[in-house]
Structure 1
Amino acid sequence: MGKFSAEYYVAVGRREQHQFWLNKWTPSGTSLMSITNQTNIDTTFSVKDVVIALPAPNYTDGPDNTVWGGTNTRKFTIQSAYESLNNRAQSIEGEWKALWSWKGPHRIQTFMWMAAHERLLANYRRSKWGVGISTTCSGCDKNNETTIHVLRDFPIATQTWISLQNLVIESFVGKTKIISNQNIDNNSQEDMKKGVNFAFSGASALKKIYFARRGIIEPQTDHSLSVQFEWFKKLKPFMCKSKKECTSYFKKSLFIVGEIGGNDVLQYISSKKFTKIRKVVPYLVESITHTTISLIKEGAVELVIPGNFPIGCNAGVLTNLISTKKEDYDELGCLIAYNAFAEYYNEQLKNSIETLRHKYPQAKIIYFDYYNNLKRLYQTPQQYGFISDKEEILKACCGGSGPYHVNLEIFCGTGSSTVCPDPSKYINWDGSHLTEASYKLIAKGLVEGPFANPSLKTPLFNIA
Structure 2
Amino acid sequence: MYASRVVFFLLASLSWLRSAAVAGGCGGGDRPVIFSFGDSNSDTGGLVAGLGFPVNPPNGRSFFGRSTGRLSDGRLVIDFLCQSLNTSFLNPYLDSLAGSKFTNGANFAVVGSSTLPKYVPFSLNIQVMQFLHFKGRITELASAGSEVPVSVDEFSKALYLIDIGQNDLADSFSKNLTYSEVIKRVPSIIAEIKSAIKTLYDQGARNFWVHNTGPLGCLPQKLSLAEEKDLDENGCLSSYNSAARIFNEGLLKLCQEMRSELADATIIHVDIYAIKYDLIASASKYGFLNPLMTCCGNGGPPYNYNIRVTCGTPGCEACSNGSQYISWDGIHHTEAANSIIASKILSTAYSTPRTPLNFFCRGWYVQVKHI
Fold in common (TM above 0.5): yes
Greater shift, 441-450 or 291-300, is seen at 441-450
CA contact (8 A) 2:49 2:92 kept: no
Partner of 2:57: none
2:286 equivalent to 1:384: yes
Structure-1 separation of matches of 2:273 and 2:89: 29
Superposed, which structure 2 residues align to 1:217-256 within 5 Å? 222-240=121-139, 241=142, 248-256=153-161
Partner of 1:301: 206
Deviations 1:329-368 (A, max 9, x none): 1111111111111111100111111110101110000111
| Counterpart residue identity of residue 346, structure 1 | N
2:337 equivalent to 1:400: no
Q: Work out which of the residue numbers 354, 357, 365 in structure 2 matches 1:455.
A: 354
Superposed, which structure 2 residues align to 1:269-418 within 5 Å? 269-275=173-179, 276-323=181-228, 328-387=230-289, 392-402=290-300, 403-418=302-317
Residue 192 of structure 1 aligns to a residue whose secondary structure is coil
CA offset at residue 399 of structure 1? 0.7
CA offset at residue 183 of structure 1? 3.8
Deviations 1:375-412 (A, max 9, x none): 1111211222212xxxx221111111153100111111
Structure 1 427/192 Cα, relative in aligned 2: closer, same or farther at 3 Å?
same
CA contact (8 A) 2:297 2:318 kept: yes
CA contact (8 A) 1:246 1:299 kept: no
Structure 1 208/400 Cα, relative in aligned 2: closer, same or farther at 3 Å?
farther
CA offset at residue 175 of structure 1? 8.5
The normalised TM-score by structure 1 is: 0.55
Structure 1 424/322 Cα, relative in aligned 2: closer, same or farther at 3 Å?
farther
Structure-2 separation of matches of 1:405 and 1:320: 12
Partner of 2:169: 265
CA contact (8 A) 2:220 2:294 kept: yes
Partner of 2:90: 178
| Counterpart residue identity of residue 182, structure 1 | L
Coordinate RMSD, CA, aligned = 3.3
Structure-1 separation of matches of 2:214 and 2:343: 16
| Counterpart residue identity of residue 342, structure 1 | A
Structure 1 343/156 Cα, relative in aligned 2: closer, same or farther at 3 Å?
closer
Structure-2 separation of matches of 1:248 and 1:175: 19
CA offset at residue 290 of structure 1? 0.5
**Superposed structure 1 runs of 4+ greater than 6 Å apart:** 161-164
CA offset at residue 440 of structure 1? 0.9
| Counterpart residue identity of residue 251, structure 2 | L
Superposed, which structure 2 residues align to 1:52-63 within 5 Å? none
CA offset at residue 250 of structure 1? 2.9
CA offset at residue 436 of structure 1? 0.7
Structure-2 separation of matches of 1:349 and 1:396: 29
CA offset at residue 271 of structure 1? 1.2
Structure possessing the higher relative contact order (Cα contacts under 8 Å, 6 or more residues apart):
2
Deviations 1:42-63 (A, max 9, x none): xxxxxxxxxxxxxxxxxxxxxx
Q: Work out which of the residue numbers 427, 445, 455 in structure 1 matches 2:344.
A: 445
State the number of aligned residues.
282
CA offset at residue 248 of structure 1? 3.3
The normalised TM-score by structure 2 is: 0.68
Larger radius of gyration: 1
Structure-1 separation of matches of 2:87 and 2:243: 42
Higher helix share: 1
Partner of 2:30: none
Deviations 1:84-127 (A, max 9, x none): xxxxxxxxxxxxxxxxxxxxxxxxxxxxxxxxxxxxxxxxxxxx
Partner of 1:420: 319
Structure-2 separation of matches of 1:427 and 1:225: 27
Structure-2 separation of matches of 1:330 and 1:156: 39
CA contact (8 A) 2:50 2:95 kept: no
Deviations 1:418-439 (A, max 9, x none): 2222111111111111111111
Q: Work out which of the residue numbers 195, 201, 216 in structure 1 matches 2:105.
A: 195
| Counterpart residue identity of residue 199, structure 1 | A
Structure-2 separation of matches of 1:331 and 1:295: 41
CA offset at residue 224 of structure 1? 0.7
Superposed, which structure 2 residues align to 1:23-172 within 5 Å? 152=48, 154=50, 165=68
CA offset at residue 416 of structure 1? 1.5
- Flag structure 1 segments of 5+ consecutive residues without an equivalent: 1-150, 210-220
Identity of aligned residues (%): 29
CA offset at residue 274 of structure 1? 3.4
